[in-house]
Amino acid sequence: MNNLPWLAAAALLAAAVVWCFALRRAHHVRRRATTIRARPVAPVRFTQHARERMTLRGVAEHEILAAVANPDRFTRDRTENSVRLEAEHGDRVLKVWVAEPWPSSAETVVKSAAWQYRTTITIDPESVGRLIGTKGRTVQALRQVTGAYIRVDGPTVTITAGERVAMEYALKRVTAIATPCGRVAGCRTSSPGQSLRSLPEPS
């Protein structure tokens, strides 16, 4: 019974030590967060060319500012003395070109911006050769006709283009060539060249 006061005192002391440690840790986390938020952000300046491209391509200023502040990827171009920043937006990627140095604490100069639309489909493995064509002629013709970049990696086909209409147009043509005729009612076997000519030009 005489040990109870000592046990109670020891428990209170341990609780006080734990409370002080937790309070100190929380204060440290708040100080660290404040330090991160307080880092200076360089002002962003848009060139006249960038403003024109933004209007032409439907790119909003806040989308560019977000890409500059937190890009998903970036690539340096030593020849042009610029950096290409990329930000993912679902089925499209925003590309922003800024002048070196980047990142900069003084000023970030935006030189241009553009959207890149992208889609990926899986085709019948037996249609891969038909889509590529002899020595790659069919897929090369598709690129020229649609203006889209088409990458064939086995049954996985990735289509990218600077405009959504071009991406969708390329997707229709790829599907027309790669779809086995036996799966389409009323379909008649045709050559890849005929499939290329059978679809209307994009409106």
CA-closest candidate to residue 174, choices 201, 139, 135, 200:
139
Rounded-to-10 torsion of CA 123, 93, 195, 185: 50
Strands (E) across 3-104 are located at 44-46, 73-77, 82-89, 92-99
pLDDT in tens, the chain (203 residues): 555 565 555 556 665 555 555 555 554 434 333 333 333 468 999 999 999 999 999 999 999 999 999 999 999 999 999 999 999 998 899 999 999 999 888 999 999 999 999 999 999 999 999 999 998 899 999 999 999 999 999 999 999 998 889 999 999 999 998 886 544 444 444 444 444 444 445 44
Ordered by start, the domain boundaries in the chain are: 44-117, 123-181
- pTM beyond cutoff 0.75: no
The CATH number corresponding to 123-181 among 3.40.50.1240, 1.20.1090.10, 3.30.1370.10, 3.60.20.10 equals 3.30.1370.10
